[in-house]
Amino acid sequence: MGAPTPHPLYIAVATLGAPLGADGAYTVMLLAVYVGFAALVWLVFRLGHEAFSWPVGVAAAFVLVTSYVLVSDTASGFFDVPVVALVIGAAVFEAGSPRRGAPVLALLAVAGLQRPEVWLLSAAYWLYLAPGLSWRSRSWLALLAGAAPLVWGISDLIVTGDPTYSFGPTRQNAITLHPGKSIPVLLRDVLRLPVLAGAIAGFALALWFERARAALPAALAVLSTVAVGILQATGLALLPRWTFIPAAALAVMFGFAVMGWTLQGPGPLRTAWALAGLLGILAVLVSGRPHFQAVRSLQTQRDGPSRAERDLRSLTRGGESASLLRRCRGIGLPTGMLVPFVAYYADRKTEDVGGPGRPVSASSVYIRPVSADARELQRIGVFAKPAPKPPPGFKAVTGNRSWRLYTRSAGCSA
């Protein structure tokens, strides 16, 4: 089991917060995600407004703030949220001033340091611009469009000695740790079925009635979905947050589905469309009930993983459990995602710490989550399913509110 993927943008932002210590750096990252969510909602409104009308923008923004998955991932501090805001911001720049060029590619380049599927958007936009440019401008913008993969490769080379490290060993981590779902299922999870169905209808309606206006959000929806599909084709098991970019674009299409009638002249079509749009909004309100539960539990969702991590650090660094971990030859874990944490806190090599793929015979101790705080890790993807029970022969010897440590060997007893 290798280390997690070293995303350059995440590392850069985390480095800025490092002088504040672990808790301070976590606060900085969480603040960046919260600001990113607010920016994303505003920018989706702006995209809907620029492309169609302000009512369409309002409906699109409403979709995002009623997405349980998006709100929950924001509360949990996932850095993909501000990255989506960068991409939508690039689309807003383009919508406000077509063929804007460098500012759009610059935002995509920054986003591409966190999400590799953004590289396809940069390449497609450069191809769109290239025919009308001089060779000098083409070369400059090509460098800007290719900056993200270039910087990512250099970062991997400096840190690991392998410029393709993020797409080699860490790719196997993603395949091992996460269950696979199809893109339509993930989009349904993020948007909810009524919104996804409305977005598909809005896509068709926009291309029929407002093709020129729809070109940008439609292209963003299609290209970002294709980009995620390319990742899936490499064998990666997709996560819901990887579909946030196409989900944001489809939210604009849903906005057109329920409010596009405002662009039509008086008549039967406008009346029928307005009634259908009202039904669509009601369906979203009914299906959005989990969102309100998510809002009520934001503090729990934010504090649960943080508290569980602090408890894991305490378990591995102090008292009887730290003594056991120093003397035992192998540490078993229910998931590989905990490997870097345990290895770092216990000052052990990652080879001494293993997840589900490690033979039980190679481990003398086993660490497992036990509390509601640790179970929150399952919700955010640390565990694909409830953490498995200890292997046969292991007995609990110590622990704290979030974790239990088990041993199978008398030589590992305190």
From first to last of its 414 residues, the chain has per-residue pLDDT tens of 455 677 888 888 878 877 877 667 778 888 899 999 999 999 999 999 999 999 999 999 999 988 888 888 887 778 889 999 999 999 999 998 899 989 999 999 999 999 999 999 999 999 999 998 888 989 999 999 999 999 988 887 887 777 777 676 555 555 555 556 788 999 998 898 899 999 999 999 999 999 999 999 999 999 999 999 988 887 766 788 889 999 999 999 999 999 999 998 888 899 999 999 999 888 888 876 666 665 555 555 555 556 777 788 888 877 777 777 777 777 878 777 777 778 878 777 777 777 655 554 556 788 888 765 555 555 555 555 556 677 777 888 888 877 888 887 655 644
In the chain the first and final C-alpha atoms are separated, in Å, by 29
Is there a contact between 320 and 414 (Cβ–Cβ < 8 Å)?
yes
In degrees and rounded to multiples of 5, residue 359 shows phi and psi of -60, 140
How far is it, in rounded angstroms, from Cα 24 to Cα 28?
Answer: 6
Residue 294's pLDDT is 58
Residue 344 CB coordination number (10 Å): 13
pTM, entire model: 0.80
Residue 409's pLDDT is 67
Is there a contact between 346 and 325 (Cβ–Cβ < 8 Å)?
yes
Is there a contact between 87 and 118 (Cβ–Cβ < 8 Å)?
yes
Q: Which residue has the tokens 């498995």?
A: 388
Residue 55's pLDDT is 95
Q: Report which secondary-structure segment, H or E, holds 102.
A: helix 102-111
Choose among 361, 411, 344, 355: nearest CA to 388.
Answer: 355
- Angstrom distances, CA of residue 167 to CA of 2, 160, 162, 218: 12, 12, 10, 29
How far is it, in rounded angstroms, from Cα 322 to Cα 49?
Answer: 57
Choose among 410, 407, 413: nearest CA to 332.
Answer: 407
